[in-house]
């Protein structure tokens, strides 16, 4: 008989909830949580290993786990609708949520093409912003995203949700700013820092060669190590009363300028 969990006090459900809420447990266990059929399909296609799939037969459109997510080796657990709705992280869910084994890329493991396009984020704190940047990076065909001196866990559920699965489709490397700068300099990849001071308009700056677009936080911008290491400083013209854009919006503008130049 198939086990159906009907209580949120069940140890399996408690762990699932704790993994959503605690970055320390995600690090210790090597597991994180992904919700939704589309996101999980991106995850599996990127080579991630599912550990346990939780599903609700009453919510899943077909009443059963999609074939690509149930390969016979993955543990599956059926949840009653009230329990599933308790653990579901977002509204309009599709009835499936999974614990997935973490993977972390390194700079040394990156396989980059000639003239790569890379996004570098320094100390970005909000998971939603990082997730939105990853969506733009995927849309623009960026080759990698470096998260330098991270203040958020890349497997934070808010980040995964905001990225719509782009966390799995774009290579993401967490490293220090010093490591990233050394990597870029050694490979002759131009460092373009987004900043208001001492900068040129972004569309007047060539981006057809290997390019790293470096973004800082909205509140404090980039630290001096990036400003001093840059090959060029670029800015987006601000024609209104405010002097900055959301980091994800700024990144999208710069990425698609690089796309425009490379396809001109």
User: pLDDT tens digits, residue range 208-253?
Assistant: 999 999 999 866 778 999 999 999 999 999 888 877 788 999 999 9
Listed by start position, the domains of the chain span 4-101, 117-262
CB within 8 Å of 108: residues ≥ 6 apart: none
Q: Quote the pLDDT of residue 72.
A: 67
Q: Quote the pLDDT of residue 48.
A: 93
One CATH from 3.30.360.10, 3.30.540.10, 3.30.710.10, 3.40.1280.10 for 117-262:
3.40.1280.10
Q: Classify domain 4-101 at the CATH topology level.
A: 60s Ribosomal Protein L30; Chain: A; (3.30.1330)
Q: Quote the pLDDT of residue 100.
A: 96
**Per-residue pLDDT tens over the stretch 152-210:** 889 999 999 999 889 999 999 999 999 999 999 999 999 999 998 889 999 999 999 99
Examine the pLDDT at 92 and tell me if it is beyond 60. Answer: yes
**Per-residue pLDDT tens over the stretch 42-89:** 999 999 999 999 999 889 877 778 777 876 678 889 999 999 999 998
Place of tokens 């060669």: 209
């Amino acid at each position: 008989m198939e086990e159906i969990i009907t209580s949120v006090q069940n140890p399996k459900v408690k762990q699932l909830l704790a993994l959503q809420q605690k970055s320390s447990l995600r690090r210790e266990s090597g597991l994180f949580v992904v919700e939704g059929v589309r996101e999980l399909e991106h995850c599996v296609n990127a080579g991630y290993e599912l550990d346990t799939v939780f599903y609700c037969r009453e919510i899943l459109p077909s009443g059963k786990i999609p074939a690509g997510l149930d390969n016979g080796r993955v543990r599956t657990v059926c949840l009653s609708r009230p329990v599933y709705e308790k653990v579901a992280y977002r509204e309009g869910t599709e009835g499936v949520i999974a614990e997935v084994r973490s993977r972390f890329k390194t700079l040394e493991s990156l396989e980059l093409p000639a003239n790569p396009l890379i996004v570098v984020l320094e100390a970005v704190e909000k998971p939603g912003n990082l997730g939105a940047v990853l969506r733009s990076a995927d849309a623009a065909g960026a080759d990698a995203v470096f998260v330098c001196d991270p203040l958020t866990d890349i497997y934070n559920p808010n980040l995964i949700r905001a990225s719509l699965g782009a966390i799995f489709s774009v290579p993401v490397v967490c490293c220090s700013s010093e490591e990233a700068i050394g990597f870029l300099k050694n490979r002759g990849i131009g460092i373009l820092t987004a900043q208001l001071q001492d900068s040129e308009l972004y569309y007047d700056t060539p981006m057809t060669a290997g390019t790293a677009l470096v973004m800082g936080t909205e509140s404090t911008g980039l630290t001096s190590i990036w400003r001093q290491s840059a090959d060029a400083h670029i800015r987006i013209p601000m024609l209104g009363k405010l002097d900055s854009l959301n980091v994800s919006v700024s990144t999208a503008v710069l990425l698609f300028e690089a796309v425009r130049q490379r396809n001109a």
